[in-house]
Structure 1
Amino acid sequence: MESKIITAFKAYKDALAELATTLKNRVKASSSLKALKEELGLTANMYYQRLNYPQNIPADEIAAFAKLLNDKILIQLYEQTQTLGHQLSNEITDYIKEADLTITFVCKKLDTDPSSFYRKQKDPRLWSKEEVEKIAQIVETIKNL
C-alpha cells in the first residue's frame, strides 16, 4: 500500500505535468510562440524552460499566458497545483506527527538540516521524490516497530 505522502506527491507532480501539457497544447493550437515572444518577452528557450519546470512559473506569468491565449483553464490548473502543493506539505507534517516523530529525528535520518526541511514545507516545489519516499520509509519503519 502506498503512503499518503507519496500519493499526495504524485498528485502534485501530475497536476504540474497537466499544467505544462495544457500550456504547450494551447500555444501549439494557436501557433502563438511568436506572440509569446512579442507579448510576454519570452524567448523560445525561456518558454521551453517553463514547460520543463512548470513549478517555477510565476502566477503573474500564468495570468499573462491565460490572457494571451484567452484560456482561463490555465489559471484554474495553476491554482490547483498550488493547492496540491500546500496539501503535500500538510500531509507530510501530519504523517510525521501521526507516528509521534519529531522533525529533528526525521531530518537526522534524511541527513538534512531542519531549516531545509521547513523551507521545503513552505515551498513544496523543493521536495524531491526521493526525499518524500525516504520520509515515508522512515515513518513506516517506526510505526512497524
Structure 2
Amino acid sequence: MKGHQKMIITTLDALRVIQNNTQATFTFPLYDVLSGNTKIAPKIPTLAAGSETFWLMDQGVAVPKSHYDLVGFMRDLWDDVAAIKMNGKAIAQRAAYGSPMLALDETLFKPDAYDALIEADIVGEKTGREIVVGDLTEEAAASLMRGFIRSQEK
C-alpha cells in the first residue's frame, strides 16, 4: 500500500488560508539566492495579523521600504518561498527549491463545503454550466452555513 500523498499547495490555497485566519501572523521564509537556494534567507517576509501588507523582517525589525502587497508577493515570490508558517508553526513547506509546496496541516488547506461550492459556482459561471448540488448531509449544511457566516464577516 502506498503512503499518503501530501496535498500540493497553490497560491490560491495559501491566500484562502490567510483570508480565513486574519488574526494569525504568517511568515514566509525565502530561499537565499546567494546560497544557491540551499539555505533560508535571513530576512523573512512577514504578514502581521489583520494586515494585507508584507514586510521583510530582519531579526524582528521591519526593513524600511520592504513592503509588498499580498497578491503581488504571491505572484512574484511564490517560487522562492521555502515554507509557510502560521503563528510560528510550519503549515506548509517545500522539500527543496523547485519542489512543490506541500501541506503539513491539510485540514487548514482543505476548502470547506462553502468555499468549494462558491469555487464551483464561479467556474460554472465562467463555463456557462449549471451546477447541480446533491442532497446535503447535516454536516455539509452546517459547513455551508459556517462558510456563509464567515464570508459575511469580511
TM-score normalised according to structure 2 size: 0.26
Which structure has the higher relative contact order (CA within 8 Å, separation 6+)?
A: 1
Bigger strand share: 2
Q: TM-score, normalised by structure 1?
A: 0.27
